[in-house]
């Protein structure tokens, strides 16, 4: 009888150990996307818009409220202002006239943070390409 009780205790202990292992294996992890304050603005040259980037690298599509784009093309200075993150039709026409050495300046950028705070973002420039100064 003592042997039977010992065998039953042994099986019940090993069964509970194996059931705990299977619960550990089935556990999943929850990934939380960190969201931070708006840190910079970038030009999306595929969709012709400005996007906001927070300090963790998350993209904020509708962060930009208004901005001004300027460029010098063929010695003539052009400047256009628009409301919203998407480049206006006139801005897109200016981009079509630029060569790969033209620098485009985005200035007077106003953007909203995730909590709705209106921020004045610093100006930045965008180049379509690079100059072949080393390949003479």
C-beta separation of 111 from 135 below 8 A:
no
Measured distance CA(37)–CA(56) in Å, rounded: 9
Tens digits of per-residue pLDDT, 76-111? Answer: 899 999 999 999 999 888 888 888 888 899 999 999
Q: Taking the CB of residue 62, how many other CB atoms lie within 10 A of it?
A: 12
Tens digits of per-residue pLDDT, 23-55? Answer: 556 666 666 666 667 888 998 888 889 998 888
Measured distance CA(133)–CA(136) in Å, rounded: 7
pTM of the model: 0.65
- pLDDT the model gives residue 9: 72
């Amino acid at each position: 009888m003592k042997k039977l009780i010992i065998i039953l205790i042994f099986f019940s202990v090993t069964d509970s150990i194996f059931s705990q292992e299977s619960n550990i294996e089935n556990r999943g992890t929850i990934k939380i996307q960190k969201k931070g304050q708006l840190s910079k603005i970038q030009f999306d040259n595929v969709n012709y818009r400005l996007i906001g980037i927070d300090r963790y690298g998350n993209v904020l599509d509708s962060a930009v409220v208004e901005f001004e784009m300027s460029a010098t093309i063929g010695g003539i200075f052009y400047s256009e202002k628009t409301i919203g993150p998407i480049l206006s039709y006139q801005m897109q026409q200016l981009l079509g006239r630029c060569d790969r050495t033209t620098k485009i300046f985005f200035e007077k950028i106003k953007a909203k943070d995730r909590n709705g705070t209106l921020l004045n973002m610093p100006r930045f420039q965008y180049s379509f390409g690079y100059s072949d100064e080393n390949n003479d």
